[in-house]
A and B are shown apart, each in its own frame.
Chain A
Amino acid sequence: MSPIIQHLFDAASLGGIYALAALGIGLIFGIMGLINFAHGDFFMIGAYVIFLMSGRPVLVVTATTIVVVILLALATDRFVFRPIRGAEGAILLTASFGLSYLLENIVFMIFGGRPKAVDFGHGLVESVTIGGVRISQLDIFTIAMTAVLLIGLTLFLRKTRYGTEMRAAASDFRMARLLGIRANRVVATAFALSGALAAAVSFLLVVRAGAVSPHMGLMPVLFAFLATIIGGMGNLPGAALGGFILGFVSVGLQVVLPPDLVQYRDAFLFALVTISLALFPGGLMPGRQRGERI
């Protein structure tokens, strides 16, 4: 019984990270049709900020990271994505790919390619025993943080004016503008939120991995895409759900695969997603999605 519970927590915690990452991608995609490949580099740069500030008080590090990543997100909107707003999806994706490459190479230039150890939140890695089951504090923290952020985002989108404007813009951008909703403001808000979510993910990644490296954002962002695709693009609850599904499948594979195949776990995951994409090109969640229709 107890290992199953541990695995469940593991899966929920991993799923939470993927869900937060997927939401960051989904927010932007819903409004602009842009799949932001550079989102993974938001995680990475947030992580390097934490690295640079390790040793300082936790609150200072947290605040700085959040501010830096949000500013970075806003800057990429203003200087890279706004000039090409309205271009077709492939161009947007390619531009975000270029941006990602750019950011990674800046980090290579400054810090070099070797991973660097980071001591942040190390206390969280220890376990706690509840009702006879050993659960990692990190898992609890991750799940709690995910829950708080999910609730916060939902409240923002449903209860505030800006949130309603964002939902309207995601539904029909042109019509929103015809009602006087300022396009630039809505997009900037989306990027800011996306940046905030990315900052949260960078914390979680740094604590889990204990190190930073220039390519560290690649796998998480790929999984985030997978999650958005599973959930149906442009569908926020779907993206979050997709993240959790991915977390559970990933841990499930880890447990179920024979020892000599475990190293191929991610390959299986990708293959599974490709297959599910083939069967359900619109994603697993029903409902309206952004995308090509006749």
Chain B
Amino acid sequence: MTSASKIKTPRISIQSLVGLTWPAVSLIVILLIISLVSSLFGTDVIQLAVIEMLVMVVVVVGLYMFIGNSGIVSFGHIVFMLLGAFCSAWLTLPVPFKHMNLPGLPPFLAEHQYNVFLAAIISGGFASVFAGVIGIVLMRLPGLAASFAMFCVLATVHIVYANWDTVTLGLSSVVGLTTYVNVWVAFGWAAVAIAVAYTYQSSHFGLALRATREDEVAAKASAINIVRQRMGAFVLSAFFVGVGGALYGHHLGVISVGTFWIEMTFITLAMLIIGGMRSLSGAVIGTTMVSIFVELLRELESGINLGGIVLTIPTYSREFGLALLMILILILRPKGMMGDKELRWPFGIGLKRRLRIRGREEE
């Protein structure tokens, strides 16, 4: 109570800069290490698994940008992945292929083949625009209604795409996508997604949105425009989920409408929930953990050789195992592995700073 009039502006030291950005930097460093190790020492199978994991990081971080900050569990966010994947496919597939198999495409798509990086950006943008349009309606709904309405949107687009076979080949697979997504492309996008997510959540906008998550009434009373803040997060997250969809397609080289439906919704949600819905670290760590878990089970399903004994588990154990894991986490540790917390700078801050902060707290 004594020195309220003398509020000192803190000087930005190296230490505080590191402390501030540590959560994002640490995650990026972890992914960097994984990428390096896998590309130097990993088998083909492992390298592919790591690329897929990094692509999923883009998607799940995108998911988190909206779900984590707004508190609305959007059950249809994969619609952006669907839109992004096909958008990139339409832009980058060779023209002869498009002529033969996708006659329904308009000329500006059918007659041209665009650069893959540009296509990724456009795909993200396409998803964002779609988000902007439906968001006008959806962001006004209360939480649970919005969750469910998102799923209705996914279902609608799914049905439309599944039937519009002159443009999507219906439920058949679209092959021939350029597999330009190597581990460094994937890592690059993952790092960007993490950086953007962290910047957003630390910014005024992110904080405002998080306030609405805790207490809508109080937020409204603080002149926070809930709809506008939600829209911002929604459009931003749609961009990254859309890009993730494009990356996914160009990683596998093959996409179909069915790829981006219930299973994908489930896996991405599981990754986010298991890691912890409310923190960026949770999103990334959850994705990593689930990817490892699923990969292990995948190996077991094909049978691994332990000194002569072959260990196998039945097919679909992967999905079963993941579902079981997710339910257990929800029961035992509903906040996920990370709880609400981000990764902290492990070496603590200096003693003098600690004392000063404590002094300020006691006033």
Q: Which residues of A contact B233 (CB under 8 A)?
A: none
Contact of A229 among B145, B273, B334 (CB under 8 A): B145
Extra inter-chain contacts (12) besides given A98-B330, A271-B152, CB under 8 Å? A90-B144, A91-B334, A95-B326, A97-B75, A98-B327, A105-B319, A109-B316, A226-B152, A273-B152, A274-B149, A275-B137, A292-B142
Binds A, one of B12-20, B188-196, B201-209, B262-270: B262-270
Binds B, one of A11-19, A64-72, A166-174, A259-267: A259-267
Q: Does A150 contact B (CB under 8 A)?
A: no
Q: Does A123 contact B (CB under 8 A)?
A: no
Q: Does B341 contact A (CB under 8 A)?
A: no
Q: A267-B159, A270-B159, A278-B140 are in contact. Are A102 and B145 (CB under 8 A)?
A: no
Q: Which residues of B contact A95 (CB under 8 A)?
A: 326-327, 330-331
Q: Does B24 contact A (CB under 8 A)?
A: no
Contact digits for A191-231, partner B, Cβ 8 Å, 1 yes 0 no: 00000000000000000000000010010001001100100
Q: Which residues of B contact A264 (CB under 8 A)?
A: 159-160, 163
Q: Which residues of A contact B160 (CB under 8 A)?
A: 264, 267
A267–B157 alpha-carbon span in the complex (Å): 7
Q: Which residues of B contact A222 (CB under 8 A)?
A: 151-152, 155
A106–B159 alpha-carbon span in the complex (Å): 26
Contact of A105 among B72, B75, B316 (CB under 8 A): B316
Instruction: Tell me whether A294 and B327 are in contact (CB under 8 A).
Output: no
Contact of B330 among A91, A101, A294 (CB under 8 A): A91
Q: Which residues of A contact B72 (CB under 8 A)?
A: 90
Instruction: Tell me whether B334 and A87 are in contact (CB under 8 A).
Output: yes
Q: Which residue of B lies closest to A283 (CB)?
A: B145
Q: Which residue of B lies closest to A275 (CB)?
A: B137
Instruction: Tell me whether B156 and A267 are in contact (CB under 8 A).
Output: yes
Q: List 14 A-B contacts (CB under 8 A).
A: A90-B71, A90-B72, A94-B269, A98-B327, A225-B148, A229-B148, A267-B156, A267-B157, A270-B153, A271-B152, A271-B156, A278-B138, A291-B142, A291-B144
Q: Does B10 contact A (CB under 8 A)?
A: no
Q: Which residues of A contact B217 (CB under 8 A)?
A: 294
Q: A270-B159, A278-B138, A294-B217 are in contact. Are A102 and B144 (CB under 8 A)?
A: no
Q: Does A181 contact B (CB under 8 A)?
A: no
Q: Does A157 contact B (CB under 8 A)?
A: no
| Contact residues of A between 238 and 294, Cβ < 8 Å to B | 263-264, 266-267, 270-271, 273-275, 277-278, 281, 291-292, 294
Q: Does A83 contact B (CB under 8 A)?
A: yes
Instruction: Tell me whether A94 and B73 are in contact (CB under 8 A).
Output: yes
Q: Which residues of A contact B151 (CB under 8 A)?
A: 222
A91–B277 alpha-carbon span in the complex (Å): 10
Q: A270-B152, A294-B217 are in contact. Are A277 and B323 (CB under 8 A)?
A: no
Residues of A bordering B, CB below 8 Å: 35, 80, 83-84, 87, 89-91, 93-95, 97-99, 101-102, 105-106, 108-109, 215, 218, 222, 225-226, 229, 233, 263-264, 266-267, 270-271, 273-275, 277-278, 281, 291-292, 294
Q: Which residues of B contact A218 (CB under 8 A)?
A: 262
Q: Does B172 contact A (CB under 8 A)?
A: no
Q: Which residues of B contact A277 (CB under 8 A)?
A: 141, 145, 148-149, 152
How many residues of B are in contact with the other chain, CB < 8 A?
45
Q: A109-B317, A225-B148, A278-B138 are in contact. Are A80 and B327 (CB under 8 A)?
A: yes
Instruction: Tell me whether A281 and B334 are in contact (CB under 8 A).
Output: no
Q: Shortest Cβ distance from B316 into chain A, in angstroms?
A: 4
Instruction: Tell me whether A108 and B149 are in contact (CB under 8 A).
Output: no
Q: Does B107 contact A (CB under 8 A)?
A: no
Q: Which residues of A contact B157 (CB under 8 A)?
A: 267
Q: Which residue of A lies closest to B272 (CB)?
A: A94
Q: Does B147 contact A (CB under 8 A)?
A: yes
Q: Which residue of A lies closest to B157 (CB)?
A: A267
Instruction: Tell me whether A278 and B163 are in contact (CB under 8 A).
Output: no
A93–B163 alpha-carbon span in the complex (Å): 29
Q: Does B108 contact A (CB under 8 A)?
A: no
Q: Shortest Cβ distance from A211 into chain B, in angstroms?
A: 18
Q: Which residues of A contact B140 (CB under 8 A)?
A: 278, 281
